[in-house]
Amino acid sequence: MRHLHTRTTRRRVVGALAAGLLCTTGLMTPAFAAPAQEPASPTLADGLALTPPMGFNNWNSTHCRAEFNEDMVKGIADLFVDKGLKEAGYQYVNLDDCWALPSRDANGKLVPDPVRFPGGIKAVADYVHAKGLKLGIYTSAGTKTCNSAGFPGALGHEYSDAQQFADWGVDYLKYDNCNNQGVDAKLRYTTMRDALKATGRPIVYSICEWGENKPWEWASDVGHLWRTTGDISDSWGSMLSILKQNLPLAPHAGPGHWNDPDMLEVGNGGMTDTEYRSHFSMWSIMAAPLLIGSDLRKASAATFDILDNREVIAVDQDPLGKQGTVLSSEGGRWVVAKEMKDGSRAVALFNETGSAQRIATTAQAVGLPEADAYTLRDLWRHKGYNTAGTISATVPAHGTVLVRVSVDPQWAKNPPAVELGLDGSPLVEAGRTASLTSTVTDLGRTPAKRVSVTLSGPEGWTVAATSPTGTGTVPTGHALRTQWQVTAPAGAATGSYDLTLKASYRSPTGVRAESVLPLKASVVVAPPSGVSSLGDLPWLSTTNGWGPVERNTSNGESAAGDGHPITLGGVAYTKGLGVHAESAVEYYTGKACETVTADVGVDDEKGAKGTVAFEIWADGTKVASTGVLTNAMPAQPITADVTGAQVVRLVVTDGGDGIDSDHADWADAKLSC
Ligand code: GLA
């Protein structure tokens, strides 16, 4: 069962995201990884989609609801022009499923739904074209589209449907995979390619068979882009799972033939703005199509700021057309680098984890030639710095620092880059004090002058420096280290609280610069001694692919409390956690616990579906894991030694195949302290 056609509510719950221990070890220097060479694959010689398509598609915001109609499409086209998105490169306004009536007319022609599109599709195309934009449409390479109402598909009607689209003035076709009657995918998609070509109209051709037949291996001269995964949904877990499936396909992308990890969810409300910036950053560094999936008529200023970030868009649209490649991903700390036409490199430091992490690489590791110094442009802060070669940052939970690094004779006009960090554990019990150390490290070739640092906490907290907060000069590679005592008020409720670290400094020529790092502190309670059931203990944070993490039941995908009794291999359990991949549940163990045990597997409620893998982490170390478990397998026992850990994290991954049906149970999970 594919979720999309059965669910209208999708919610994700993220508890307090605690900042964990920040790594302070020396620079990680991944070995030089040569960017994968694009294989010499044939491409469509029509000059279309030489950079990844940009535009809008209604599906992620409306599905088939009534607000998908002519007014919406026109409204989006208006906003593309009025809000500067057209100028930013957004061009295609695309209609998804449900634009047609369920039956063809007497001549076998498709009929637009007269309620949604009273003027027909041609009129909408004319409107969109008059604004200098292009129109896209949707159908399926099957007898019917994906929606259960059963709208007509193009299988067996390829030439007449393609001609009808061309006659309407359609510029883009998304061709789905439902109801395909088992006909060979290559044949189905190639027939439509030929039918589109026969119309003589330039039409971008988007293959949407969800990666089932590995289109990256055969479709470079069939379509201009191909979906690589199942459908995205508006949750961190879904986005992350798709990201991980699309990243390894980098060698197959290039001008006119792109990997498509599905449309953007930015602005739809199920992720934080930090997470949406990560989504947009990672789609851009993967040279993915940028199809806006939120109803811009209701979008916030923050949503427009993300979608209109032209420095990030320039990474996506770079004419060299390389998809970024993964240089390292240890412990959820991802470094992805993309070669740009001007010789620079876009570099994403992406933090998959629920706590702030230091992520680092070097100019050499991302493929830049040796130089005394480089210019490093921060694409979200829109500021330039100089670096002696280190590219590194403390990246907030689920955040991405996206930079563009180049060999630049003018590097010295920029102030030095500094890296902010906070060492020590920001997990405190109410009324207690945590000792933390801030660092302001000069990554530049030039010294940082007149450096000063502040740390601020929420109302009622005491934050006091016990060593100097300023210094005249921090030379290259050195740091200003400051000790802090951070006290949570007595009676503070458990949960997550904001801390902000700020540094200000000057370049040797007096240019002022500032750096800000948003962090989290958490008020925690010590774990009870003895053996406790994890289904009953308070957690520090959770992330989950569908719906919230459930206590003592399975995961029901939507609202809290909608699960069933945890059941694995026919055995029912009264205690445990019911989660949905991708998932992480963190507990504060305060160095007082020894073991975690559980019986794990895919809940019986999913019939024959679902594949997942379980991991247990003690702070930054994976201390136990299973292989990929399927629904057919009985419960598997897992035991982890968590001695000395401040935080224990229970992780479920998607087993490498997307999160569909991945109902995972930590049955009878217990913690001994
Ligand atoms: C499939 C596609 C989605 C969307 C729906 C419409 O699920 O993968 O992107 O087009 O069909 O029914």
How far from 285 is each of 250, 304, 325, CA to CA, in Å? 10, 19, 9
Q: How many domains does the chain have?
A: 4
Is the CB–ligand 1 distance for residue 97 below 6 Å? yes
User: How many other CB atoms are found less than 10 A from the CB of residue 380?
Assistant: 18
**Structure confidence at residue 656 (pLDDT):** 86
> Nearest to residue 540, comparing CAs of 331, 355, 350, 273?
355
User: How many other CB atoms are found less than 10 A from the CB of residue 111?
Assistant: 15
* 334 and 304 in a common domain: no
Residue 230 CA: nearest ligand 1 atom is 8
* Cα(81) to centroid(ligand 1), Å: 27
* 259 and 143 in a common domain: yes
Q: Whose CA is nearest to atom 3 of ligand 1?
A: 231
* 399 and 374 in a common domain: yes
**Structure confidence at residue 20 (pLDDT):** 30
555 secondary structure, DSSP code = -
Q: Whose CA is nearest to atom 1 of ligand 1?
A: 146
Q: 313-323 pLDDT, tens per residue?
A: 999 999 999 99
Six token digits for residue 131: 């604004």
* Cα(64) to centroid(ligand 1), Å: 10
* 376 and 427 in a common domain: no
Is the CB–ligand 1 distance for residue 96 below 6 Å? yes
Pocket test residue of 1, 2, 3, 4 for ligand 1, highest count of atoms within 8 A of CB: 4
* Cα(116) to centroid(ligand 1), Å: 18
* Cα(310) to centroid(ligand 1), Å: 29
* Contact between 12 and 582 (Cβ < 8 Å): no
* 130 and 17 in a common domain: yes
Of the listed 97, 231, 654, 665, which one is catalytic?
231
How far from 360 is each of 330, 475, 501, 556, CA to CA, in Å? 11, 19, 19, 39
Is the CB–ligand 1 distance for residue 173 below 6 Å? no
**Structure confidence at residue 4 (pLDDT):** 36
Pocket test residue of 176, 228, 264 for ligand 1, highest count of atoms within 8 A of CB: 176
Contacts of residue 301, defined as CB under 8 A and 6 or more positions apart, other chains included, come to none
Residue 138 CA: nearest ligand 1 atom is 10
**Structure confidence at residue 670 (pLDDT):** 98
Is the CB–ligand 1 distance for residue 291 below 6 Å? no
* 187 and 141 in a common domain: yes
> Domain of 476?
415-524
Q: What's the mean pLDDT in 517-524?
A: 95
Please tell me which residue, 541 or 535, carries the higher pLDDT value. 535
User: How many other CB atoms are found less than 10 A from the CB of residue 126?
Assistant: 14
Among 376, 394, 413, residue at a domain's last position:
413
* Contact between 416 and 448 (Cβ < 8 Å): yes
Cα atoms in the Cβ-side hemisphere of radius 13 Å centred on 232? 31
Is the CB–ligand 1 distance for residue 176 below 6 Å? yes
Among the listed ranges 20-34, 180-194, 546-560, which one has the minimum average pLDDT value? 20-34
372 secondary structure, DSSP code = S
SS3 166: helix
Is the CB–ligand 1 distance for residue 4 below 6 Å? yes
**CATH number of the domain where residue 499 is located:** 2.60.40.10
* Cα(654) to centroid(ligand 1), Å: 21
**CATH number of the domain where residue 644 is located:** 2.60.120.1060
Is the CB–ligand 1 distance for residue 660 below 6 Å? no
Among 470, 504, 524, residue at a domain's last position:
524
Six token digits for residue 612: 């997942």
**Structure confidence at residue 657 (pLDDT):** 86
pLDDT over 70 (residue 35): no
SS3 277: helix
**Displacement of CA 293 from its chain's centroid (Å):** 14
Q: Pairing relation of β-strands 333-339 and 595-602? A: unpaired
* 234 and 115 in a common domain: yes
Q: What's the mean pLDDT in 212-222?
A: 98
231 is catalytic: yes
Q: Whose CA is nearest to atom 6 of ligand 1?
A: 97
* 142 and 240 in a common domain: yes
Is the CB–ligand 1 distance for residue 208 below 6 Å? yes
**Structure confidence at residue 464 (pLDDT):** 98
> Nearest to residue 559, comparing CAs of 9, 61, 15, 62?
9
Q: Per-residue confidence at 97, pLDDT binned at 50, 70, 90?
A: very high
Six token digits for residue 411: 């590097």
**CATH number of the domain where residue 404 is located:** 2.60.40.1180
pLDDT over 60 (residue 92): yes
Q: At 198, give phi and psi (nearest 5°).
A: -65, -20
Pocket test residue of 231, 238, 262 for ligand 1, highest count of atoms within 8 A of CB: 231
- At position 581, the amino acid (one-letter code) is A
H helices of 116-212, where? 120-130, 158-168, 185-199
* 47 and 194 in a common domain: yes
Please tell me which residue, 622 or 559, carries the higher pLDDT value. 622
* 485 and 389 in a common domain: no
Q: What's the mean pLDDT in 369-390?
A: 98
* Contact between 443 and 387 (Cβ < 8 Å): yes
* Contact between 507 and 416 (Cβ < 8 Å): yes
**Structure confidence at residue 607 (pLDDT):** 82
pLDDT over 90 (residue 534): yes
Residue 262 CA: nearest ligand 1 atom is 9
pLDDT over 80 (residue 594): yes
Q: 499-508 pLDDT, tens per residue?
A: 999 999 999 9
Q: Per-residue confidence at 610, pLDDT binned at 50, 70, 90?
A: very high
Q: Per-residue confidence at 40, pLDDT binned at 50, 70, 90?
A: low
Q: Whose CA is nearest to atom 8 of ligand 1?
A: 231
pLDDT over 80 (residue 536): yes
Q: 540-558 pLDDT, tens per residue?
A: 989 888 889 999 999 998 8
User: How many other CB atoms are found less than 10 A from the CB of residue 182?
Assistant: 6
Preceding peptide of 582 cis, ω within 30°: yes
d(CA 243, CA 403) in angstroms, rounded, equals: 19
* 109 and 65 in a common domain: yes
**CATH number of the domain where residue 198 is located:** 3.20.20.70
Q: Per-residue confidence at 620, pLDDT binned at 50, 70, 90?
A: confident
* 420 and 405 in a common domain: no
* Contact between 586 and 540 (Cβ < 8 Å): yes
Among 366, 388, 413, residue at a domain's last position:
413
Q: Per-residue confidence at 425, pLDDT binned at 50, 70, 90?
A: confident
CA dihedral of residues 247, 366, 258, 284 (deg, nearest 10): 80
Of the listed 96, 97, 161, 176, which one is catalytic?
176
Contacts of residue 130, defined as CB under 8 A and 6 or more positions apart, other chains included, come to none
* Cα(176) to centroid(ligand 1), Å: 7
